Amino acid sequence: MPSSTRVLRVDAQQPDPAVIAQAAAVIRAGGLVAFPTETVYGLGANAWDAAAVARIFRAKSRPASDPLIVHIAELAQLPAVARDLPAVASRLCGHFFPGALTLVLRKSPRIPENLSAGLDTVALRMPDHAVARALIKAVGAPIAAPSANTFSRPSPTSAAHVLEDLAGKVDLLLDGGATRIGVESTILSLVDEPPRLLRPGGISLEAIRALLPNIQYAPQFAAEKDTVPAPGSLLKHYSPRARLLLFRGDDSAVYTAMRAEITRHSQVGLLLRQRDAEQFHDLDIQIESLGSNSQQAAERLFAALRALDKAGVAVILARTPEERGLGLALRDRLLRAAVGAVAEV
Ligand code: AMP
Ligand code: MG
């Protein structure tokens, strides 16, 4: 384990090749590098190196049952990672790569057992971020990278978030500023028939459905007591330390219920869209605005959860986002952060 984490700043559009070369050398030597992608920061290791992959699990305190996503820089790397591609895979790649879509495919024999948690499948993505792409190319191998946070904490959308969780546990951090999308990739399983959305994310269900009309989405949340949950289905995830309560209902009913809830606790924080936040400006409490549309909400969500934790609130009140576009990903993250606590009002 490194005793300290080196931080190098890097331009998000035109990364300095010398900086990328240093990061690539760390990965080639079996080390860990945290780097920006368009979704969230990733914690990367050489995907072919099982020992380096094991270090990712240790650094994040991630259970061995939760497989990693493999990141590639060009389609030519795909056959080394996955096999038996269904016909629809090339259409999806043509449309959504590079971008915030992860495909679950049959894995190639070259994928280390620990990377894929012993499954016969592998999750694969081509990030749309100059730093991530340059790094993968410079390493000359796919990079295994989950989000660069401690397991079950809110995902990192800035270099500061990575350091909050992983300082001293990662060799090098490339600081490329705040991430553009702010929620993780959409995960689509092509080993199921019909194809199944496993996690809503940066690419909307509607956009995928335009190409794959038979795509299925049935959110399944496993409780922590379940011994072998499907990968990524744990309900408690993306959690702030504070307790999060979600409210579902009309504006006025939600505002009334939230005011009643606020009187019940001494340290309450609000996580609301700008127009909702304005309803509470008479109160002396911490309010984090999610902006005025779902793009802004996605960009700000994880940073806002971390900010509320820093402010020391005990309870966070928020609304359930609408179930379309990026709203589906926001809803999934908030439900998990709330560990299912939703008040119908
Ligand atoms: P993260 O990058 O931290 O968001 O984690 C990667 C996500 O991809 C986790 O939720 C995993 O469970 C999911 N994942 C990775 N590989 C697979 C796979 N083979 N099948 C299903 N889900 C996967
Ligand atoms: Mg994660």
Identify the pLDDT of residue 276: 98
In this prediction the pTM is: 0.95
How far is it, in rounded angstroms, from Cα 259 to Cα 156? 31
Please tell me the distance between residue 147's alpha carbon and the centre of ligand 2 in angstroms: 4
Q: Which atom of ligand 1 is nearest to the CA of 62?
A: 3
Q: Are 316 and 338 in contact (CB under 8 A)?
A: no
Q: Are 78 and 105 in contact (CB under 8 A)?
A: no
Ligand 1, atom 21: nearest CA belongs to which residue? Answer: 231
Identify the pLDDT of residue 238: 72
* Ligand with an atom nearest the CA of residue 104: 1
- The closest of 181, 226, 221, 225 to 203, measured between CA atoms, is 181
Pocket around ligand 1 at a 6 A CB cut-off = 66-67, 69, 104, 116, 119, 121-123, 146-147, 184, 187, 198, 231-232
DSSP 154: P
Please tell me the distance between residue 234's alpha carbon and the centre of ligand 2 in angstroms: 11
SS3 71: strand
Q: pLDDT by residue (tens digit) across 79-105?
A: 999 999 999 999 999 999 999 999 999
- Ranges of residues in the chain with a pLDDT under 70 are 1-3, 220-237
Q: How much of the chain is in helix, strand and coil states, percent to nearest 5?
A: 35, 20, 45
Ligand 1 site-directed mutation target among 66, 239, 333, most atoms within 8 Å of CB = 66
* Ligand with an atom nearest the CA of residue 145: 1
Identify the pLDDT of residue 91: 96
Identify the pLDDT of residue 236: 64
Q: Residue 94: CB partners within 8 Å, gap ≥ 6?
A: none
The strand pairing partners of 317, in sequence order, are: 245, 270
Identify the pLDDT of residue 226: 47
Give the environment of ion ligand 2: residues with CB less than 5 A.
147
